[in-house]
Amino acid sequence: MMTDGALSHLTILETGVITAYAGKLFSDHGATVTLVEPPSGSPLRNHPPFLDGAEGPDRSLHFHYMSAGKRSVVLDLDTTEGQRAFRHATASADIVLDDRLQDWWRERGLPYEKLHEANPRLVWCAVTPFGQWGPYSGFRGGDLVSMAMGGMAWLTGYEEGPLVSRGEISLRSAALYSAVATMVTALGRSNSEGGRFIDISVQEVVALGTETAPQFHDLHKVTRRRNPEPQKQAGIGVYPCKDGYVMIYAAEAGLGTGWTRLIEWMTEAGVEQAGKLLTDEWATNEFKQSPAAKAEFERVFCLFAASRLKQHLFVEGQRRRIAISPVNGPDDVLRDPHLLSTGYFRDLDIGTGRSVPCPGAPFRLSATPGRSTGRAPQLGEHSR
């Protein structure tokens, strides 16, 4: 049993902000991850949400979550002293997690090719809105722009227009992809060389999230577009219930599980009009996608669900092997019986003496489970 984590042999410098979640994954498995922060501190320290909703030093809950277990050194990379210190640090590091164009580093005398010359095993992963080269590489980005340009924004929204979901989906996904690409590259090294430059474009990561839209366009010349109504077909969609919404993915053909069992359940519960939804006419997805079928299913399901709570519909529906789930908010998630019973939440030390429950490990490794991560560093806590 390795108690120090499977990745305790890796030394990582984190100069990026977008890459925070990648650094966290490495850190949680034992890597030494050091934030290289400017004298003013990483912008991540100003990322909402904040303790008591008030901005201030060490009050960003987001920063605490992403940085727990990491170290912090302050280097002013605009000074020759800072540049020298950075060059020295990269000489013995395995990985740099960054989010800038190489031009920025070149201006400071720290381009990858130079650092790689001094340390042939150095892996440098740069996550930028559009990647290091190409006609848009100099464009400004951010979650909103990346979701738009990568094609995910187009796929959702209401009748009146597309929408970008909250959650910084593009940035978090790009960080996660960068963690994988960095691990792949680190594993591909020999004892003396093999460091490589990894160029990750957030736009391209978002494009991976466009599901079948490119294939529909390519094969059928059909442009998949946001569904302006809650149902995709009768039995697949978002439906209201007593205390909110449930998401149902019930079908018999193609993707979806439990259509017949759902109708039988409603019939059992005394919704008489449910029975006819099992007639031959309802057997095809084509019919279920018709406006009349959708309206009829919604009407019948609402009769059934109006008096039922989303958690009840979830647990009982799942017992009946129906792909149904509650549309939860964070308050629901925090009291979810499954997550509580499996011990999922961790206590996050935010330095105030009281801890805050936060998401736990995304996966469980039997021999190298990783570590409970401690707390986030104060600015420059590990500067010499």
Partner 1 sequence: MSGGGNLPLAGIRVLDFTWVGAGPFTTKILADFGAEVVKIESRKRPDQLRKAEPLTGSRTIEESGYFANRNVNKKSISIDLKHPDAHGVIMALAKRCDIVINSFSPGVMDRFALDYDDIRTVREDVIYVSMPLAGSSGPYRDFLGYGMNIAAIVGLMQLGALPGRWPVGTGTNFPDHLPNPLHAAFAILTAVASRRRTGKGQNIVLSQIDSTLAMFPDGLLDCAANGRVTAETAHSNPQNAPHGLFPCAGDDRWCAISVTGNAQFATFCRIMGKEGLASNPCFATDEARQENLVELHALVAEWTGAAEAHDVMTELQEAGIAAGVVQTAGDLLDEDPHLRARGFWQYLDHPVMGRSVYHGVPAKISGIASGYRSPAPTLGQHNGELPELTGVDPETIARLHEKQVFQ
Question: Between residue 177 and residue 236, which ones bind partner 1 under the rule CB under 8 A?
Answer: 177-181, 183-188, 196-201, 203-205, 207-220, 222-227, 230
CA 105/CA 83 separation, integer angstroms: 10
Tokens of 112: 């990858």
Residue 366 touching partner 1 (CB under 8 A): yes
Closest approach, Cβ 34 to partner 1, in A, equals 19
Residue 79 touching partner 1 (CB under 8 A): no
Q: Is the peptide bond prior to 326 cis by the omega test (within 30 degrees of 0)?
A: no
CA 320/CA 116 separation, integer angstroms: 58
3, 53, 190, 279: residue in contact with partner 1 (rule CB under 8 A):
53
11, 111, 154, 375: residue in contact with partner 1 (rule CB under 8 A):
154
CA 249/CA 321 separation, integer angstroms: 11
Q: Which is nearer to partner 1, 11 or 137 (CB)?
A: 137
CA 108/CA 78 separation, integer angstroms: 7
Closest approach, Cβ 147 to partner 1, in A, equals 7
16, 69, 256, 377: residue in contact with partner 1 (rule CB under 8 A):
256
Of 80-88, 100-108, 254-262, 297-305, the window that binds partner 1 (rule: CB under 8 A) is 254-262
287, 309, 316, 360: residue in contact with partner 1 (rule CB under 8 A):
360
Reported residue count of the chain is 384
Residue 383 touching partner 1 (CB under 8 A): no
240, 252, 296, 303: residue in contact with partner 1 (rule CB under 8 A):
240
Tokens of 378: 């104060």
Q: Which is nearer to partner 1, 228 or 275 (CB)?
A: 228
Residue 303 touching partner 1 (CB under 8 A): no
Residue 359 touching partner 1 (CB under 8 A): yes
344, 371, 375, 380: residue in contact with partner 1 (rule CB under 8 A):
344
Residue 324 Cα distances to 110, 250, 251, 258, angstroms? 53, 8, 11, 9
Tell which residue, 372, 323, 361, has the closest CA to residue 339: 361
Of 100-108, 266-274, 300-308, 348-356, the window that binds partner 1 (rule: CB under 8 A) is 348-356
Which 87-106 residues touch partner 1, going by CB under 8 A?
none
> Site map for partner 1, 114-153, x if CB under 8 A?
----------------xxxxxxxxxxxxx-xxxxxxxxxx
CA 177/CA 126 separation, integer angstroms: 11
252, 327, 372, 375: residue in contact with partner 1 (rule CB under 8 A):
327
- Mention every residue, 6+ apart, whose C-beta is less than 8 A from residue 337: none
* 3-state SS class at 283: helix
Residue 44 touching partner 1 (CB under 8 A): no
Residue 126 near residue 197 (C-beta atoms within 8 A)? yes
Q: How many residues bind partner 1 (CB under 8 A)?
A: 145
261, 289, 339, 375: residue in contact with partner 1 (rule CB under 8 A):
339
Closest approach, Cβ 63 to partner 1, in A, equals 10
CA 125/CA 65 separation, integer angstroms: 22
Q: Which is nearer to partner 1, 188 or 275 (CB)?
A: 188
CA 332/CA 113 separation, integer angstroms: 49
Residue 52 touching partner 1 (CB under 8 A): yes
> Site map for partner 1, 262-301, x if CB under 8 A?
----------------------------------------
What φ, ψ does residue 285 adopt, rounded to 5°?
-65, -30
Closest approach, Cβ 84 to partner 1, in A, equals 25
Query: How many CA atoms lie within 13 Å of 91's alpha carbon, on the beta-carbon side?
Result: 8
Strand pairing class (236-241; 324-326): unpaired
CA 141/CA 125 separation, integer angstroms: 18
Residue for token digits 């366009």? 217
